[in-house]
Chain A
Amino acid sequence: MDDAGTQGRIEELRNRVDEVDRELVRSLNERARIVQEIVAIKAEAGKALFDPRREEKILRKVAEENEGPIYDTSLREIFTLILHRIRDLEVQREEFR
């Protein structure tokens, strides 16, 4: 491929990456909204936020369903961060309700 061809192909792939990112952001916020509903139900029932058993279940499921090329262990790291950031968002929200 000539220079312009290379550039065009990269541009095309980057557009696809951007589309995936948009979808990820939409999905993460959708996930956060669902968690908010769970937290509201938990609050009603006097139940807890810190729940390492449930967390481990989620992480195992993610790894089980993973088809790669991302390593299972890397996905666990990524999802741990997602879980904690969304949980902490709720902790902070509770405080200022």
Chain B
Amino acid sequence: MSISQKSAAGVKTNVSTKNGLIRSGSFRVIAGPCTIESYEQFVASAKAVKQAGYEYVRGGAFKPRTSPYSFQGLGEDGLKIMSEVNGELGLKGVTEVMDAGDIELVMEHAQIIQVGARNMANFSLLRRIGEAIAGTDHGVVLKRGFAATVEEWLLAAEYITSGGSENVVLCERGIRTFETSTRFTLDLSAVIVAKRLTDLPVIVDPSHAAGRRDLVIPLSKASVAAEADGLIVESHHDPQEALCDAEQALPVEALMGLREALQPFASAMGREVL
């Protein structure tokens, strides 16, 4: 039996990953900056994540920017900053890998590998990641391509899970529609449909979907109600100065507020915010 299958017995709100990223009866929040810009910036953002009581911090070292002339991330230097800071603070890191040649390097410095929406259909990368993480505690957050159907997204996940890993998490991050008031349209139905069909946990990225911070908390609440298993949100200690996606980053003071805002909804769903 493939591990990304779903029990026919109905929806499961108690899915989990073997490595503890997703735990039964809980709602995982991953927060942190879009990009690792410097030691000072990342440590400030990571401390705020820690203070708000979260265990996982995100931060990009390899950035899939639309323009080759935009800031591309610090690469290996960024990864070193992440693992150093996380080691000091006792946090676990989530960061994107774009090139199969960097998988091992990323695994040295972060617990969770993110596959971005633009790489969801990069099947050779998915397969390589699946092989690399099999039998380890490293996991994958697989973002849905912004023009991918749920079926395509689940099949992309199969490329990773067929390697044997039990630590794969799906992430809905908005799809392209005609709407321009948000950057993408968050497709919460996809979260529910995916959970109906598979046992894979599904988290939501309201920051990239909305592209604006005022929607992040309301969409996060909606994600809890839509049976999501967690969130990945962007936060920055100084959004004004952020090198990318400044409009959607929550200021770090809002991270504690996010937890408080989510808890009543999580409780109603029988979950605890982690």
Contacts and interface: CB of A to CB of B under 8 A. Distances in A.
A49 B8 CA distance: 6
Contact of A46 (B2, B7, B155, B158): B7
Nearest to A91: B196
Contacts of A97: 10
B38 interface: no
Given A51-B2, A53-B2, A46 B198 contact: no
A47 interface: yes
Contact of A50 (B9, B10, B11, B197): B197
A50 B5 contact: yes
A51 B11 contact: no
Q: How large is the interface on A (under 10, 10 to 19, 20 to 34, 35 or more residues)?
A: 10 to 19
Give the interface centre of A46, A48, A51, A84 by most chain B CB atoms within 10 Å. A48
Contacts of A91: 196-197
A96 B57 CA distance: 38
B152 to A, nearest CB: 11
Contact of A94 (B8, B158, B198, B199): B8
Contacts of B118: none
Contact of A49 (B5, B151, B155): B5
Interface of A: 39, 42-43, 46-53, 84, 90-91, 94-95, 97
Given A48-B199, A50-B5, 9 more contacts: A43-B7, A48-B7, A49-B5, A50-B198, A52-B154, A52-B158, A94-B9, A94-B10, A97-B10
Interface of B: 1-2, 4-11, 151, 154-155, 158, 196-199
